[in-house]
Amino acid sequence: MRDEDLRMMFRSTEEGSVSREMFYKAQLLASERRGRRNATLSAVGGAVLSLTLFVGGFAVVNNNDNRVSTVENLALAEYSKLESKTLSLGSLASSGRPERLVGASSAGRLVVINGSTGKTERLLTQVKDPNDQTKGGLLGHVTLTPEGDTVYFDVRTADKCSGQIKKISTAGGQVGNVIDGYAPTLDSVGSKLAYVRQTTCNELSIVVRSLVQQEDVVIVTRKLDVAQRVASLSWSPDGRQLIGDFRSDDPSKNRLVYLDVTRVNTFDSSPTLQPGQQSRNGTTYEWPTFLPDGNIFLSQRCCDLNPDSPRQEESRLVVLDSQGKEQGVVAYGFLDVPHTATASDVSGSHLLYMSGTDLMVSDDRARPGILARGLLGAAWR
């Protein structure tokens, strides 16, 4: 290989641009860090100054931080300008897709993404500690109010089995704490928030919070002798049911369960509805999402629980009706890539799911394409 060939080859891999927002964010972080350092220095300096005056000497206070404040004020002003721009999450692009969506990145950022181009348009917040990549971060569940003005999301906590639900305006601003838990899911009218409250790694409850009365109702509690969690929750269009994807360290205890939110449920002692299981032996279903017509969009893997099955192994994204009858195939996936975080827009025509960390979108059940990369989950209205 000639040097020039190598240079050309490396240059040919260049893709996209880098948003100036990253620069402003760096300035904010620098400002925060310098503030912490100055506070410490002031405390130490105050003590030294007292001591100096006490012994009859003198002190020179040298405030050489003017440049810093100028730079950061500029950054803050420009960042604020970006923050104050109105990005509507309720409108539609010419393709019929929602114009924008909110995504949770694997790097711990909550971002507004253009629904047509997949480009990040705004950084809402960053929850990962940039000094310690092992702490913090997003869990990846994102849910929007019907108007698209507020997003609820969940973050990791020190307790590995639980999380914390937070919210932020999609126009930017302060992050507000909502409650301890994870997998926040708003119903279609935005009056009820379902979430998972995990007491211990072995015990969890599905809770529905009325956002009007701020009251919590426990719908079901499940206790196992192994660790368990809920991968996803989704509301039925009429707001009377939830479908939950219950996982555990013991795969035989994994359940896909419909929960009636009008009464307290138990499901380990009663038959559970796993769509299609009866007709397709060994098939597993994951990450179900209710569509507006009552059908369910979910990930299906065949036969990995049953190696003796004559059926060929496959991984698909499908739409089933409430009886488990297949209504259509959205995509064929790769067996070694997890397909997660299914979501739909309000019309049911534009479907989202994650293929690994690639956000895929399918319009009108057509072959999906990659919309954005490096995400854990996303939602649009």
Partner 1 sequence: MLGFGQTSKLDDSALVKLFDEHAPKLVHAVALLIHDKYEAEEIVQEAFVRLMTSGRRLRNLERAPAFLRSVAFNLARNQIRHRDVVRRKTPLLIDPLEGDQTRSTPELFVLDNLDASALADALHQLSERQRECLVLRYYMDLNEAEIADVLGISKGSVKTHTSRGVEALAVKMGSEK
- DSSP per-residue codes, 184-200: EEE-TTSSEEEEEEESS
For the CB of residue 320, give the shortest distance to partner 1 in the complex, in Å: 20
Continuous segment of H or E residues that includes residue 348: none
HEC states along 52-73? Answer: HHHCCCCCCCCCCCHHHHHHHH
Measured from the CB of residue 345, what is the shortest distance to partner 1 in angstroms? 21
Task: Closer to partner 1 by CB, 33 or 240: give it.
Answer: 33
Q: Two tokens at 340?
A: 């997660």
The nearer residue to partner 1, 130 or 294, going by C-beta atoms, is: 130
Give the Cβ contact number of residue 233 at 10 Å.
Answer: 24
For residue 133, report the phi and psi dihedrals to the nearest 5 degrees. Answer: -70, -10
Rounded Cα distance between 324 and 243, Å, is 13
Least Cβ distance, residue 50 to partner 1 (angstroms)? 25
With respect to partner 1, which residue has the nearer C-beta, 30 or 217? 30
Q: How far is the CB of 110 from partner 1 (least distance, A)?
A: 13
CA 222 to chain centre: 24
Closest CA to 192 of 209, 215, 214, 169: 209
The nearest distance, CB 16 to partner 1, in angstroms, is 8
- Eight-state DSSP code of residue 6: H
Q: How far is the CB of 59 from partner 1 (least distance, A)?
A: 20
Long-range contacts of 210-216, Cβ-Cβ distance < 8 Å, separation of 24 or more: none
Between 45 and 237, CB nearer to partner 1: 45
The CA-to-CA distance between both ends of the chain, in Å, stands at 50
Q: How far is CA 195 from the centre of its chain?
A: 13
Nearer to partner 1, 148 or 153 (CB): 153
Identity of the residue, 143 or 355, whose beta carbon is nearer to partner 1 in the bound complex: 355
Nearest CA to 188 among 238, 230, 252, 128? 238
What residues line the site for partner 1 (CB under 8 A)? 1, 3, 6-7, 9-18, 20, 22-23, 25-27, 29-30, 33-34, 37, 64, 66-67, 70-71, 74, 105-107, 109, 128, 130, 133-134, 139-140, 160-161, 201, 227, 229, 231, 247, 249, 286, 333-334, 336-338, 340, 354-358, 360, 369-370, 373-374, 376-377
Q: Residue 175 or 201: which CB sits closer to partner 1?
A: 201
Residue number with CB closer to partner 1 (217 or 305): 305
User: How far is the C-alpha of 294 from the C-alpha of 301, rounded, in Å?
Assistant: 22
Q: How far is the CB of 292 from partner 1 (least distance, A)?
A: 25
CB of 293 to partner 1, least distance (A): 27
Neighbours of 150 (CB within 10 A): 19
